[in-house]
Amino acid sequence: MTIATSTLAEQRTWLESISWSTFTTLLRETGENRGSRFAYDGYRLEIMTPLYEHESYNIQFDRFIFALAEELNVIIKSARSMTLKREDVGRGIEPDNCYYIQNELAVRGKREIDLAKDPPPDLAIEVDITSSSVDKLQIYAALRVPELWRYNGRVLRFYQLGKTGYTECDRSLVFPVLLVTEMAKFIEQSKTIDEISLVRSFRAWVREKI
């Protein structure tokens, strides 16, 4: 069965009864330069094509992360929408953005990441303006991503991975200086002010915090 939905933010299509081999074949045949992102829960494959509103928020998060790391003198490695997958847990996903921070040195210089032996990104970001057809928290938990940020166009949530799954939290694990309410304030401002002024304001705020 194939089901599709579309809004001004995202277009989603999902396929039912998808095996691991079919998932990996689709990844291989569609290639790395496609505009869509996959999320696979072991049964259902969601194919999400980001549109303007989605990508606008995604870009802001990436700029904030870079500015935050630079001001805090934290080394990061951006992995963007790299496919995160593990056959042993039968799950796979392509985040909007993801970053190696604590584990940056472990992947530095690598041309390919294999989650069967390499660590997952320390932080992943998901923008979902419309409802996803798969349980992304469950997928990320199976892949052992320590921290996840999710934004739905109105509410930002931070999650940290524990023994039984994700727990919502008010402070970032990878950037302890950052409260979710503070990041949410700047994301909200991105709707009303220009990008240069926004990043300058964010940098000034970070410098005050340190």
With residue 196 as reference, give the H or E element that holds it.
helix 195-209
> Can you state the angle between helices 195-209 and 180-189, rounded to 10 degrees?
160
Any idea where the domains of the chain sit in the sequence? 52-209
| pLDDT attached to residue 153 | 94
Closest CA to 80 of 61, 65, 99, 64: 99
| pLDDT attached to residue 173 | 95
pTM of the entire predicted model: 0.93
Name, in order, each residue with C-beta under 8 angstroms of 161's C-beta and a sequence gap of 6 or more.
Answer: 140, 141, 144, 145, 146, 147, 148
On the CB side of 136, CA atoms within 13 Å amount to 25
pLDDT digits (tens, 9 = 90+) for 89-112: 999 999 999 999 999 999 999 999
In the block, tokens 């990320």 appear at 140
| pLDDT attached to residue 8 | 63
| pLDDT attached to residue 183 | 98
The residue count of the chain comes to 210
Give the CATH number of domain 52-209; options: 3.40.50, 1.20.950, 2.40.160, 3.90.1570: 3.90.1570
With residue 56 as reference, give the H or E element that holds it.
helix 52-72
| pLDDT attached to residue 131 | 86
| pLDDT attached to residue 9 | 74
Q: Over the chain (210 residues), what is each successive 10-residue block's mean pLDDT?
A: 59 94 94 88 95 93 97 96 96 98 96 95 96 94 98 97 96 96 97 96 94
Q: What's the mean per-residue pLDDT of the chain?
A: 94
**φ and ψ at 206, to 5 degrees?**
-60, -40
With residue 15 as reference, give the H or E element that holds it.
strand 10-15
In 122-194, alpha helices (H)? 136-142, 180-189
Fill in the amino acid letter for 176: P
Query: Measured between alpha carbons, how far is residue 59 from residues 79, 98, 192 in Å?
Result: 14, 12, 15
CA distance 100 to 8: 31
Name, in order, each residue with C-beta under 8 angstroms of 176's C-beta and a sequence gap of 6 or more.
Answer: none
CA distance 145 to 168: 14
